[in-house]
Amino acid sequence: MASSEILVKRLIGEEIAPYVDDLARLRIEIFRGYPYLYDGDLIYEEQYLRRYLESLDSVLVVALDGARVIGVSTGMPMNEADEVFQKPFLELGYDISKIFYLSESVLQPNYRGHGIGVQFFTEREAHVQTMQRFEWACFSAVLRSPDHPARPDDYEPLFEFWKHRGYKRYPEMRTTLTWKGVGRMEPTAEVMEFWLKHMDT
């Protein structure tokens, strides 16, 4: 695959609606793998993803191979995101109206390593800059111990990829998010750690 064959488009507000089903499909497909191990269902997805449609300033970046959606990346202002993501910022006294939350990036495995993930960051950050009211962009990532039994032998953490995009890990900023893991009967609380980038940098 050449990345030039892939169309990457940035969509905002009402333009997002036609892609919400693709986002749900890809979240369930990709987050089933390590490290997320998310046993997703469409009912939860519909409820979770409604936030993007209700937010005027949310962004969705879509990667298309022809008519087929092969990757999606999203974000929204932190003050419109779920309270669990706001919590560590409020506890530390941040003004959450100045923070933009980069929610997720999901790309099918056979399209990785061609720069699409980099474009997901540049497009979302360009959207954040356009609004001129955000000081920080941030995202959260699930915390897994290096000896987690489900970790594939060839698994490469995304830490270097995120550092190269200018994000810094803040180990003291954590929250918990509850989801049903693959092979589990009940949802469990998973620890999420935050990464931040100042928008002037």
Ligand X SMILES: CC(C)(COP(=O)(O)OP(=O)(O)OC[C@H]1O[C@@H](n2cnc3c(N)ncnc32)[C@H](O)[C@@H]1OP(=O)(O)O)[C@@H](O)C(=O)NCCC(=O)NCCS
Kindly list the residues in this chain that would bind ligand X in the complex (CB under 6 A): 3, 30, 104-107, 112-118, 120, 141, 158, 160-161, 164
Question: How many residues are present in the chain?
Answer: 201
Q: 23 φ, ψ to 5°?
A: -60, -45
Shortest gap between Cβ of 123 and ligand X (angstroms)? 12
* Shortest Cβ 108–ligand X spacing (Å): 8
Q: Which is nearer to ligand X, 97 or 117 (CB)?
A: 117
Cα 168 to its chain centre, rounded Å, is: 16
User: At its nearest, how many Å lie between ligand X and the CB of residue 164?
Assistant: 4
Task: Please state whether 115 falls in left (phi above 0), alpha (psi between -120 and 50) or beta.
Answer: left
- Shortest CB 67 distance to ligand X, Å: 20
Measured from the CB atom, the residue of 120 and 134 that comes closer to ligand X is: 120
Distant-in-sequence, close-in-space partners of 118: CB < 8 Å, separation ≥ 6? 165
In sequence order, the β-bridge partners of residue 71 are 63, 107
Minimum CB distance to ligand X smaller for 133 or for 148: 148
Taking the least distance from each CB to ligand X, the nearer of 133 and 164 is 164
For residue 119, give every residue at least 6 positions away whose Cβ sits within 8 Å of its Cβ, in sequence order, or none: 8, 61, 63
